[in-house]
Amino acid sequence: MVNTVGSYATKYWHKDLIPVKEKMFLTDEQLSLLVGCLLGDGTMRMGKGAVNANFKIEQGLAQKEYTEYKYSVLKDLVLTEPKISYRYDENGSKYRKSWWFRTVRHPLLTKIYNRFYVGDGYRVGRKIIPKDIGVDLNPQSMAVWIMDDGSFNKGIIDISTYSFVLEEIKILENAIYKKFGIQMVHHKDRDKGFRMYANKSETLKMINLIKPYIVHPMEYKIGCIAP
């Protein structure tokens, strides 16, 4: 568990939020989910003029239950429940795009942002893999990552890693092997980038590792057909 953060109060916090933010901390479960999401679909941002980062979840409309699961873990850091994001098509008609929620800005999240992002902090920046990513990996973070970006086909798990460069993918592969004894490799997916995958025997090891942390709507990601 990450320590409480009363000493982090700053003049930039809205006075109504100071009592809330001073009591905030990250549990091991929350940190593991954040790491898994940052390997997958999650994003962090330092908005223009902001002192601290926040964290955003956005999932497809069909993944409402999965979004609610993530919210249930992170709700102590969130002021509003998940909501639908709307967009407009070329004819000006409004349509539903996704489910999303965002945490408050907080120094604890800024520490994570500084490890996982490089570039212009006033925008999203580029997500990276820290060289010491092994310290962040555990069965839960691996499960969240695979629920976000993994797929299961013909007995094999593979993971979309398009947003990472080859050197970072190799760092991930080495960290996973050292931490869990699971051998993952990569292949080039046309001009999209690289994907990581495990052969059938290594996939079974991965499933045994992460299965306790796979939530019901996402069981298909490890080859289980939800009833």
Going by C-alpha positions, the residue among 208, 131, 141, 213 that lies closest to residue 172 is: 131
**Residue 109, pLDDT above cutoff 90:** yes
pTM: 0.86
Question: For position 57, what pLDDT does the model report?
Answer: 96
Instruction: Output 151 or 93, whichever has higher pLDDT.
Output: 151
CATH architecture of 6-127: Roll (3.10)
| Residue 122 binned pLDDT confidence (cut-offs 50, 70, 90) | very low
pLDDT band with cut points at 50, 70 and 90 for residue 23: low
Beta carbons within 8 Å of 97's beta carbon, 6+ residues apart = 61, 84, 85, 86, 87
Equal fold, 6-127 vs 133-222: yes
> Above 50 in pLDDT, residue 59?
yes
Mean pLDDT to the nearest integer, 16-29: 69
Identify the band that residue 181 occupies on the pLDDT scale cut at 50, 70 and 90: very high
Look at residue 179 and tell me whether its pLDDT is greater than 60. Answer: yes
> By three-state DSSP, how is residue 45 classified?
strand
pLDDT in tens, 204-222: 999 999 999 999 999 999 9
Q: 94 pLDDT band (50/70/90 cuts)? A: confident
| Cβ pair 157, 150 in contact under 8 A | yes
CATH architecture of 133-222: Roll (3.10)
Residue 2 has pLDDT above 80, yes or no: no
Classify 81 as helix, strand or coil.
coil
Domain boundaries defined on the chain: 6-127, 133-222
